[in-house]
Amino acid sequence: MNRSDERQLLKQCLSLLEEKSTTLSPESHTSPTTRYTDPARFEQELKAIHQRLPIAYLHSSELPEPHHFRTIETHVGSVLFTRGEDGQVRAFHNVCRHRGTRVESRSSGCTKAFSCPYHAWRYSTEGELVSVPFEQTCFPELNKGEHGLATIPCAEAHGFIWLCPLADSQEAAEQQVAQHLEAVSGDLAWLAPGQLHVFEQHRQRWRCNWKILQEGGLETYHFKFAHKNSIGPYFLSNTCVTNQFGAHFRVVMPTERLKEVTEASLADTRLRDITHIVYGLAPQTTFLVQKAHIDWIQMIPVSVDETDVIITSLIPTPREELSAEEFTHWKRNQSISIATLDEDFELGQSIQAGLNSGANQSLTFGRNEGALAAYNRWVEDQLHAFSD
């Protein structure tokens, strides 16, 4: 995205403000409730989408230097992410090649080697098996070069570390991520999330299907009502500019400050100054872009009606360099974001309970909710392609 793109989006926002309207699809749609309640379908979604497509599990700042590591629970089990001596990020199944024990139980740290707690087989941060107790006596024919930790291809791009379980090499993972993000690469370069740093993370499990949570970020129809006591008064209700980029979506949500913008001031107005922007990156990554930071929201499917949500605040300054005043500012900002998103997620739980009751056979998406219908069409396309 460049300044010309920003101005074009601002002009679209101003047009919608004048028309008292929003991005509209040609017609309304219905969505079968089985999309959110059928366990068999949920398993198909895992296989066709979440276990196949690149997914961002870490921000690059979480592995700042060689020998730093993180362990993450993913759809392919516990994964050990490391930054090696050469600066390259690698991902491994967190499973000892001896008897299958979990090698690293800590969530993060810095070390030059990982030692299995069962029999002390040791691995380097590059995943190589470097030592085995009583090797000559007990394992005289063991080829350590063939018993390193099992690798999962990953790629570092746009400030995030993307896991690519189906890629057959590091190079293939890099190509897969580049292809997956190609349609939004210009916007990601504009956002420059790689220049930000993790402030804090908040994790909670919600009792609803993952798609319900994704859908909530694709419209502003609910702002005036669901967020009436929080952010609602600061935004234009039912007004947003929505764009689809293949599997991904962008929703530009103007604040009340848009009313202050004139044709004369347009050239000097930054898009992020008077809007919040949601980027929905398939399948489970959302960026809530605010004036000076980004809230990175991961929506991780657990079961057909359970989803883990991780909200990570990404800020311009490393946490350890913040002054007391700056820390308080970002802490307050994160609290507001979490409280607002919780309003959405609590409604998501209410929706799921209603769907599980069997009262409705379908949901209705209005013309102002066209992005929800488009998102579900994308999911359907993935399921059909996988079954073929």
**Domain harbouring 147, CATH code:** 2.102.10.10
Domain assignment present for residue 288? The answer is: yes
Domain assignment present for residue 380? The answer is: yes
Q: pLDDT-based confidence at 263, cuts 50/70/90? A: confident
Residues 209 and 127 in one domain: no
Measured CA to CA, the distance from residue 114 to residue 93 in angstroms comes to: 13
The confidence score (pLDDT) of residue 223 equals: 95
Mean pLDDT of 323-337: 97
Measured CA to CA, the distance from residue 59 to residue 314 in angstroms comes to: 9
Residues 191 and 339 in one domain: yes
Domain assignment present for residue 174? The answer is: no
| H helical segments located in 125-275 | 135-138, 170-181, 185-191, 210-216, 223-226, 271-274
Measured CA to CA, the distance from residue 216 to residue 115 in angstroms comes to: 44
Domain that holds residue 83: 55-163
The confidence score (pLDDT) of residue 262 equals: 85
Rounded percentage of the chain residues whose pLDDT exceeds 70: 100
Q: Which of 132, 163, 194 is the last residue of a domain?
A: 163
Residue 249 phi, psi (nearest 5): -135, 150
Q: Which of 129, 163, 197 is the last residue of a domain?
A: 163
Neighbouring C-beta atoms of residue 109, cutoff 10 Å? 12
Residues 37 and 60 in one domain: no
Residues 278 and 130 in one domain: no
C-beta separation of 302 from 288 below 8 A: no
Q: pLDDT-based confidence at 264, cuts 50/70/90? A: confident
Residues 74 and 42 in one domain: no
Residues 291 and 313 in one domain: yes
Tell me the two tokens of residue 381.
């396309």
Which of 113, 196, 173 is closest to 148 using CA atoms? 113
The confidence score (pLDDT) of residue 354 equals: 98
Mean pLDDT of 81-108: 97
C-beta separation of 315 from 328 below 8 A: no
Domain assignment present for residue 202? The answer is: yes
Q: How far is CA 92 from the centre of its chain?
A: 20
Residues 128 and 203 in one domain: no
Residues 95 and 36 in one domain: no
Residues 214 and 326 in one domain: yes
Domain assignment present for residue 170? The answer is: no
C-beta separation of 351 from 208 below 8 A: yes
The confidence score (pLDDT) of residue 137 equals: 96
Using one digit for the tens of pLDDT, what is the confidence trace for 181-198? 999 999 999 999 999 999
Residues 145 and 21 in one domain: no
Residues 347 and 378 in one domain: yes
Instruction: Please give the tally of structural domains in the chain.
Output: 2
Measured CA to CA, the distance from residue 73 to residue 57 in angstroms comes to: 9
Check whether 388 has a pLDDT greater than 80: no
- For residue 229, give the DSSP letter: T
Q: pLDDT-based confidence at 364, cuts 50/70/90? A: very high
Tell me the two tokens of residue 299.
């929506």
Identity (one letter) of the amino acid at 244? Q
Which of 213, 175, 211, 198 is closest to 293 using CA atoms? 198
Using one digit for the tens of pLDDT, what is the confidence trace for 126-147? 999 999 999 999 999 999 999 9
Q: pLDDT-based confidence at 267, cuts 50/70/90? A: confident
Domain assignment present for residue 176? The answer is: no
Q: pLDDT-based confidence at 90, cuts 50/70/90? A: very high
Measured CA to CA, the distance from residue 172 to residue 155 in angstroms comes to: 9
Residues 143 and 43 in one domain: no
Query: Beta partners for 124?
Result: 113
